[in-house]
Amino acid sequence: MKKQHLPEKVCEYCQRSYTWRKKWERCWDEVRYCSERCKREAKKYKPSENKSVHTIDQHKKSNV
């Protein structure tokens, strides 16, 4: 397969396009990020439902 005909996706974190790589051959459907860095950063800043509820509850208590 020529490089110009490789499938492409858009990274969910940085919104840049990236192309298929041989190491993703078996898991291409699950690949969501262009790099390990984007994967780490997305995980780091992904808001947790429990965490946000806890923060809101603490804020309400401190204003009382």
Q: How confident is the model at residue 63 (pLDDT cuts 50, 70, 90)?
A: low
Q: Please give the mean pLDDT across all residues of the chain.
A: 80
Q: How confident is the model at residue 53 (pLDDT cuts 50, 70, 90)?
A: very low
Contact 37, 43 (CB under 8 A): no
Contact 34, 23 (CB under 8 A): no
Helix (H, G, I), strand (E, B) or coil at 43: helix
Domain ranges of the chain: 3-63
- Cite the DSSP H helix spans in 1-64: 36-45, 49-63
34: which 2 tokens?
Answer: 């262009």
pLDDT of residue 59: 47
pLDDT at 42 over 70: yes
